[in-house]
Amino acid sequence: MKRSVDLLVSALGLLVASPLLLLLAALVKGTSRGPVFFRQERMGRGFRPFGIYKFRTMVEDAPRQGGPITFGRDPRITRVGRFLRATKLDEVPQLLNVLKGEMSLVGPRPEIPRYVELFRSDYEEILRVRPGITDLASIKYRHEAEILGRAADPEREYLTRVLPEKVRLGKQYARQSSLGLDVCILCKTLFSLLRTPARADFSGSEQGTRCNASMGDPFDRRA
């Protein structure tokens, strides 16, 4: 059922959004050097690596200018890229990953292989399901770059505070995965994108991130 919904929604989404995708592609290509899409290796279901698609939001040689984590007002991010990241429109090409069966609409966000290896035993549980375009952690850490930008050592902050919480929420999703939970997460994701932007923190108490009580509190730290 979940795969059928993924196929239907991703196909319709790409069809309906095609004029917007063409416009965004033209903006990316016309305002900075480099390809339209950014493709990076991520770890998929069953530890099978795949290339995730995004609109390119950084300068052409960004990987040579810094690490995989972006934070604050990273100078590698282009002007159009800032808009795409703020609106999450850079993620829309991942509907192609969903169509190909590499991702789902909802599921734990895919990580790069070297970070997965640091929590391999945890990811053995998480990667029993397909990674997704959005999940509970995506809602909680919508302002992740801002959070990391306030840290003295952004990568250390990510590895010691942000990633462990993403892992916890990913494991909880893998245990409770259901169509009802997916619908709830999609609605909360839409809500978080449409509402007035707010600063995020590590408390996990942003408004609008909890789903139906019958599914359990996704931010209950006893999980």
Give the tens place of pLDDT for each residue, 141-173.
988 888 888 888 888 999 999 999 999 999 999
pLDDT for 60: 82
pLDDT for 92: 96
More confident call, 209 vs 96:
96
* Residue 207, pLDDT above cutoff 60: no
* Residue 140, pLDDT above cutoff 60: yes
- Alpha-carbon gap, residue 65 to 146, rounded angstroms: 20
* Residue 4, pLDDT above cutoff 60: yes
* Residue 22, pLDDT above cutoff 70: yes
* Mean pLDDT, residues 72-100 taken together: 92
* Mean pLDDT, residues 49-74 taken together: 83
* Residue 194, pLDDT above cutoff 60: yes
Backbone angles phi, psi at 147, to 5 degrees: -60, -50
Token pair listed for 133: 């375009």
Count CA atoms closer than 13 A to 223's CA, side-chain side. Answer: 21
Domain ranges of the chain: 2-215
| Choice among 5-9, 61-65, 120-124 with the minimum mean pLDDT | 61-65
Pure H helices in the chain: 2-31, 62-65, 79-87, 94-99, 113-118, 120-126, 136-140, 144-149, 154-157, 163-176, 179-194
Count CA atoms closer than 13 A to 32's CA, side-chain side. Answer: 22
* Residue 212, pLDDT above cutoff 80: no
Entry pTM: 0.84
Mean of the per-residue pLDDT values of the chain: 87
